[in-house]
Amino acid sequence: MIFCNTLFSSSPLLSPLTLTQTKPSRFPKKLIARAQFQSMEDHDELLRLKFMEFPYLSDTRRQLMVELVSMVEDNLQSLLQPCSLPPDVRNFKNPNGSAEASLHIRSGEKSSPIDFVIGSWIHCKIPTEQSHVARSHPRPIPRKDLVLHPDYIKEFYQDTALDSHRQSLLKVPGIKPYVSPSLFVRSGFSPAVSALIIDVEEEESLEEIMRDHVSPAAKDVLRVWLERCAREEDEKRVVGEEERKELERRDKSFRRKNVENDLELKFPRMFGEEVSSRVVHAIKEAFGVL
């Protein structure tokens, strides 16, 4: 999952595509159907590009987000379905224009090991702070209890040298561990998860850290996940039916609580009840927690 906080977009909200015919057409029906299908494809691409704008991010951060999303799409294209969210969920804003967001969810194909991939950016105007803060989570969340499965640590963390990124980043001035104020979030993370916060006084320092340290670490971690987890078929990693059910139960519980404790509390304040209800329902549907 890819999330990004960004600033307000000046581009207009894309309205739903409407196809109407006011008088008989001289074109064959097959050609009309093809033209309509092409229009839908074009509109879908416009909404995808809207998501990929990451508006008002700095060039450094925008480039990183575009590269991460492109890595996912280029590697998993055959395993994912097109985004099927309605236009007013894929890009939405509040009535007074102080908050805007873009949401992009692609479900996995039936034969795919991936349930779904979700990406979003959210902007909400807040009072200016003197320091520049960014949060980074460059670490995949383990799917197993690491105490009971030390071989899992070796295969995915030690052999891939993922922990070296955490060690290197914590040596950079301005970067320190981030501890979530939510007890639920902290309980869901394992000790192997790296959650970092960048707190510096100048925008230039933040950009330098993002470009020289966070960006290469984030891309390397994503590369490991794509190569080791998302595509590779390994018989020794096939889980039994009971373990699969337990993983699904845990996943859905974590998703449901995240929606309840975060989105359902914050979205109405940012976007109003009508927009929030529409978007949260779509996210719950994608998460399988309706």
| Domain residue limits, the chain | 143-233
| Beta-strand relationship, 99-107 and 116-124 | antiparallel
Question: How crowded is the C-beta side of 285, counted as CA atoms within 13 Å?
Answer: 12
Backbone angles phi, psi at 29, to 5 degrees: -60, -35
Cα dihedral: 255, 259, 260, 262 (round 10): 120
Please check the confidence at residue 9 and state whether its pLDDT lies above 60: no
Residue spans of beta strands (DSSP E) within 77-218: 91-93, 99-107, 116-124, 132-136, 175-177, 196-200
* Closest listed residue to residue 92, CA positions, set 103, 82, 83, 84: 103
Check residues 68 and 26 and name the one with the higher pLDDT.
Answer: 68
Residue located via tokens 């330098």: 208
| pLDDT tens profile 260-284 | 988 999 999 999 999 999 999 999 9
Examine the pLDDT at 232 and tell me if it is beyond 70: no
Query: Which is higher by pLDDT, 266 or 17?
Result: 266
- Provide the pLDDT for residue 13: 29
Distances (CA, A) of 100 to 30, 148, 220: 39, 43, 30
HSE (side-chain half, CA atoms, 13 Å) at 53: 24
CA-closest candidate to residue 72, choices 114, 111, 33: 114
72-81, 126-135, 155-164, 220-229: which is most confident:
72-81
Q: Cα torsion at 131, 222, 124, 199 (round to 10°)?
A: -10
Q: What is the DSSP letter of 274?
A: H
Strand order in the sheet with 2-5: 2-5, 116-124, 99-107, 91-93
Q: What is the pLDDT of residue 173?
A: 94
Q: How many CB atoms lie within 10 A of CB 168?
A: 13
Across-strand partners of 134? Answer: 198
Q: What is the DSSP letter of 128?
A: -
Q: Structure pTM?
A: 0.77
Residue 91: name the closest of 36, 11, 19, 18 by CA: 11
Query: For tokens 């804003």, what's the residue?
Result: 93
Helix (H) or strand (E) holding 2: strand 2-5
Q: CA angle, corner 164, sides to 61 and 152, nearest 5?
A: 110
pLDDT tens, residue by residue, 162-182: 888 889 999 999 999 888 888
Higher pLDDT, 285 or 127: 285
Q: What is the pLDDT of residue 210?
A: 93
